[in-house]
Structure 1
């Protein structure tokens, strides 16, 4: 029987998996009286399996670095398939206009989708004591529910449920009835509502508008505070492919005002280009002085910033922005984000989170104002 397994869909998920593994190592180290911290921790190193889903993220060369870093027992890629990959599922996703018929179709969909997914699942989850799943809304959640395998769910992004409670939004109308069906295992609902979900880790319960009985609070910052310098160095080596190149970029204009803009896969590409050009124009100054502007690319944002934004410095999308916290002496005057929560960022003087009011200018409000559309039944 193996100890732990993490199913990750993004670089941020891998970052949190690392935080959790370091936490376990430090706990184990502290529990052994008379053993050196490094020696005790090493006995627990490499006891977890890391599964990297290729469905929505290109992990690239990080896969090999994860295998070599010593923190995980095994690193496995997962060719996870979305429901549209299977044409036979389409009729089961069609709205019939009848709640009973829709529910019957949904029961069939959940079962059949999991059955079709099974051939792509790369590990036997029954061989693990603890299973941790980020984004159980993805196919892996349906599979574990169908196989009646218990697991722990984790918040997709920092405080993301505050800005979009996808479980309730996706099941708007008659939610209590649907949640009951999910509790029986007949249908599947993500983020703590599935029958076989043990609990759902979130960063801060107090900021969430809607409760879930399985939410448990695991603050990310407390895990970060436990990190030693060697832990941080290991993560930098794991996530950053070329540290020399990154440091050279970050040193650009260090004696001038500097602004960092976080890219995100928002809207269609044409609208996205206009949106970020507006951000560069409107926030590219500090106290009236023209600033050096850098854009940190989101891993799922495929806009060609290098061509479209030749005047900015483009930071790679192949590492989570939290890695920049670990680079000594890094300083920006301003950080600009549309939806990425920036609470964890420590290297800026001013943080701007623009949110829904800003996005209203670029797309219909009902596309992004999800929580406002939830019917509390």
Structure 2
């Protein structure tokens, strides 16, 4: 595993079939990184790019319209990605038969059927693109690309997501060497770099992972950020914030009681059961509320009503990746607090507090969120 030169993002690991690229995204963060990669890369290479927004696990609301207006992508598609549970035919081959050989034999069929299930829902011919970038290829789109024998670049699901979850290994416990070999033959599918058709697996930091495939490439997000122009930052703000002036006003205009307090922003996450999550963030708010003006930035997929639960606390209800706050000229907070969200790419906070898994252990059975550590034992 070696660090790949930064100019890798401009050429990929294969010669383009065409000068067209496509990014397949499942979350706001995915879209943010896709836009950043395209803004940086398009100044130094020819061709155009499209983007596909999967609606399987996320509501992008009006983001599609703002992406169209930005002109970063030539076409914006939505994809009604089909989970295996939507098909009895597929799920028939997703049952434990009590024997590793029988399970692997039926998995060959499962891999093919789940990929085939996507055919009527794919919004464009993905095989026509010279470069295909897929975030979270563990979702059914990965099975589709395997089924259609389409080569692609896999991109890590979230910043340093391999630090807390070795996704490929955790999803393939038992007979790991055999399963890897079968994936390289295209018989079954394994995400995050192990598929026969995955050209490379892109991560922010090689060291921030438990284990990685041999085709890993490192493209630090900080280096991408440094290459963004003032105009690029403006474009990112206009894409991801529906009303940036109102948002900045909400963040910076203090009430009389908070006038002399510094700002602390707490990032939430869709982790734990709702009652556990509520108790955990209540404790964090209590830790800071006397000395700080508390701002809560909910994760786009976190559905807990923080305004109701914490009256008097500033809650940013807009749905956007927190990274875009760093694109707002002059915006800063005094302190940023995160439980497990990786915040190495945060540039708008004077001080960062990362609570980590030891803190989470106090609220939830460690076996739930320490799966990778359990796997290594």
> What TM-score do you get using the length of structure 2 for normalisation?
0.91
Contact 1:172 1:375 in 2 (8 A): no
Contact 1:114 1:146 in 2 (8 A): yes
Match of 2:20 in 1: 3
Moved more, 119-128 or 229-238: 119-128
Q: Distance in 2 between matches of 1:93 and 1:352?
A: 42
Match of 2:275 in 1: 270
Contact 1:96 1:102 in 2 (8 A): yes
Match of 1:33 in 2: none
Q: 1:217 deviation in Å? A: 0.8
Contact 1:80 1:117 in 2 (8 A): yes
Contact 2:67 2:239 in 1 (8 A): yes
Match of 1:172 in 2: 173
Gaps of 5+ in 1: 29-43
Match of 2:10 in 1: none
Match of 2:150 in 1: 149
Contact 2:236 2:327 in 1 (8 A): no
- The one-character-per-residue Cα deviations of 1:330-371 (angstroms, maximum 9, x if unpaired) are 222221111110111122232122221112122211110021
- Tell me the secondary structure at the aligned position of residue 120 of structure 2: helix
Runs of 4 or more consecutive aligned structure 1 residues displaced over 3 Å after TM superposition: none
Q: Distance in 2 between matches of 1:331 and 1:256?
A: 14
Q: Is residue 330 of structure 2 the alignment partner of residue 329 of structure 1?
A: yes
Q: Is residue 43 of structure 2 the alignment partner of residue 26 of structure 1?
A: yes
Contact 1:192 1:212 in 2 (8 A): yes
Q: Distance in 2 between matches of 1:252 and 1:127?
A: 50
Q: 1:16 deviation in Å? A: 0.9
Give the superposed CA RMSD. 1.6
Q: 1:120 deviation in Å? A: 1.1
Contact 2:233 2:328 in 1 (8 A): no
Q: 1:239 deviation in Å? A: 0.5
Q: 1:251 deviation in Å? A: 0.8
> What TM-score do you get using the length of structure 1 for normalisation?
0.91
Aligned pairs for 1:179-328 (under 5 A) are 179-253=180-254, 255-282=260-287, 284-285=288-289, 289-328=290-329
- Tell me the secondary structure at the aligned position of residue 237 of structure 1: helix
Q: 1:255 deviation in Å? A: 4.5
- The one-character-per-residue Cα deviations of 1:305-336 (angstroms, maximum 9, x if unpaired) are 12222221111352111111122332222211
Q: 1:249 deviation in Å? A: 1.0
Q: 1:18 deviation in Å? A: 1.2
Q: Distance in 2 between matches of 1:58 and 1:158?
A: 20
- Tell me the secondary structure at the aligned position of residue 114 of structure 1: helix
- Tell me the secondary structure at the aligned position of residue 89 of structure 1: helix
Gaps of 5+ in 2: 1-17
Contact 1:298 1:317 in 2 (8 A): no
Q: Distance in 2 between matches of 1:6 and 1:338?
A: 29
Match of 2:31 in 1: 14
